[in-house]
Structure 1
Amino acid sequence: MSNNPFSLKDKVVVITGGTGILGEAFVEALAEAEAKVAILGRNQQIGAERVQQVESLGGEAMFVEVDIMDEQDISRAKDEILDKWGRIDGLVNAVGGNIPGATIGADQDLFASNIQDTIKAIELNLYGTIIPTHIIGRVIAESGKGVIVNISSLTASRPFTRVLGYTVAKHGIDGYTKWMATELAQRYGDQVRVNAIAPGVFLTKQNKNLLINSDGSYSERTKRILSGTPYNRLGDPRELKGTLIYLLSDASAFVTGETVFVDGGFNAWCGV
């Protein structure tokens, strides 16, 4: 047993959305903290690459191809993880992002936008967290000790234009994090915790078209974001790693129901 409160040595941590851009940084962080990493996602090729990434750092990993919206699929994944390692100590709900049809352009009629695409964005980001939490989270809760980390967003505190579904869903993540944290603590004790990370603006595949022009320059939207960010730059996914490990580890043992901003000061600044 490590004396380092930040260590995740031999703990089994499940990460959904582990094949995404932020997911890559999360997987790396887990491997560096010596966790055993169960990567859930839909892309078999990237999943295999992530497993190799962990193994190259001297760790253990497995990939399970799943549809995060399918309860039976998540249950199957849970069983495969338990068959391999016999326990689950942590869950990182990293599935999410915006979908193209749910982005309402400045030149579009706000009320003529495709509401079904907005609903899909809400489902992916909110239900994509609730479903695995209720299935994998049960294992954590019934073990008497473990941690769930959700991924919120700066947009839940400071709503961004154009991304309605994403914004609504991330408000839901904040509320769900507080609700589940208090319910689990009262039912299962003070060693079962739920928190969230709220990233600021990081360049990912989902938001690239909003942030970068075809010639590689920053869009006007990005320039406005930077003007509201004291650090005056976009985030690097690797800058989320420390917060993730802190929340998953015993170093944050008395922290639950919280959303931690990692945003270069955007949420704190009034602009003056």
Structure 2
Amino acid sequence: MKVDFKVTGKTAVITGAGGIICGEMAKEMAAKGMQVALLDLFEDKAQAVADEINEKGGTAIACATDVLKRESLEAAKKFVLDHFESIDVLINGAGGNKKGATTSCEQDFFHIAIEDLRWVFDLNVMGAVLTTQVFGEVFAEKKAGNVINIASMASMIPLTNTIAYSGAKAAVANFTQWMAVHFNQNYGQEIRVNAIAPGFLLTQQNQFLMQKEDGAPTERGQKVLDKTPMGRYGDPIEMAGPVIWLCSEAASFVNGAVIPIDGGFSAYWGV
């Protein structure tokens, strides 16, 4: 067996592809020769990424998709298969947090709205489960495939304030391991399910927690930087390399893993 990092010719479906992190992944995957189908609730955002990829000589399509509606996912699957005939990789990238589902000096735990908690759990957990149900059937039928979930540092230890996000991402990590076993035991040994666990990146969804309006770190942001041995936030592009590795045959025996990409955050306890 040769170590093969090539991904040329593989087809990937990416949910949440209009976002910064998954958009950067998609661009890098296309640059390495993969065909990418970009699924997002906001089609204009996914289409903008697809246009950039296609203008640079890559191959990308975009599709408006609600990961919490099976009929929307089924329509997206048909759209992708009509264009690309087969699917090799599914990246469950749709997810995120919201301010209403976090505790703060303005909002205590006892008054967080259940609707806000449910929104975070549904998007991160049920979105990944439902999308894997729909697209995973393709892998089950051909007895080969590759699912990559987006976990978090919060999957490993709950982060203060983010009650819903921490619980949801812990569930994503657990689902990753469960699904890896389920696919192998029932549909063949050539299906792999893994997750990456990004450390702290500045995104639209968490910037209010990490950075003041003038760009200086909040108290929480400074704590994160102090506990990250590399002393900085991650860049979305730094998530792409490990994902491309997981897409390749170089990771052919990596299954059920949740891989930290965190600048050493999970290795350091502050002492």
Normalised by the length of structure 2, the TM-score is 0.96
Gaps of 5+ in 2: none
1:238-257 per-residue CA deviation (whole Å, 9 max, x = no partner) reads 11111001111111000100
- Alpha-carbon distance in structure 2 between the residues aligned to 1:181 and 1:28: 27
**Correspondence for 1:216:** 215
Q: Secondary structure, in 3 states, of the residue corresponding to 1:75?
A: helix
- Alpha-carbon distance in structure 2 between the residues aligned to 1:75 and 1:107: 41
**Identical-residue share of aligned pairs (%):** 37
Shift of the alpha carbon at 1:264?
A: 0.4
Number of positions where the alignment pairs a residue of Structure 1 with one of Structure 2: 270
Q: Secondary structure, in 3 states, of the residue corresponding to 1:267?
A: helix
Q: Give the alignment of 1:1-16 within 5 angstroms.
A: 5-16=4-15
Q: Give the alignment of 1:77-96 within 5 angstroms.
A: 77-96=76-95
**Correspondence for 1:184:** 183
Contact conserved, 1:229 with 1:269, CA < 8 A, in 2?
yes
Contact conserved, 1:31 with 1:57, CA < 8 A, in 2?
no
Q: Secondary structure, in 3 states, of the residue corresponding to 1:217?
A: coil
The 1:133–1:24 alpha-carbon spacing in structure 2 relative to 1, beyond 3 Å, is same
**Correspondence for 1:56:** 55
Q: Aligned letter for 2:205?
A: Q
- Alpha-carbon distance in structure 1 between the residues aligned to 2:111 and 2:21: 32
- Alpha-carbon distance in structure 2 between the residues aligned to 1:250 and 1:150: 18
- Alpha-carbon distance in structure 1 between the residues aligned to 2:8 and 2:87: 13
- Alpha-carbon distance in structure 2 between the residues aligned to 1:240 and 1:264: 11
Matched, 1:127 2:126: yes
- Alpha-carbon distance in structure 1 between the residues aligned to 2:176 and 2:254: 12
Q: Secondary structure, in 3 states, of the residue corresponding to 2:66?
A: coil
Matched, 1:25 2:37: no
**Correspondence for 2:203:** 204
Contact conserved, 1:106 with 1:162, CA < 8 A, in 2?
no
Normalised by the length of structure 1, the TM-score is 0.96
Q: Aligned letter for 2:35?
A: K
Q: Secondary structure, in 3 states, of the residue corresponding to 2:266?
A: coil
Shift of the alpha carbon at 1:158?
A: 2.4
Q: Secondary structure, in 3 states, of the residue corresponding to 1:270?
A: coil
Gaps of 5+ in 1: none
Q: Secondary structure, in 3 states, of the residue corresponding to 1:193?
A: strand
Matched, 1:139 2:126: no
Shift of the alpha carbon at 1:107?
A: 4.2
Shift of the alpha carbon at 1:54?
A: 1.6
**Correspondence for 2:251:** 252
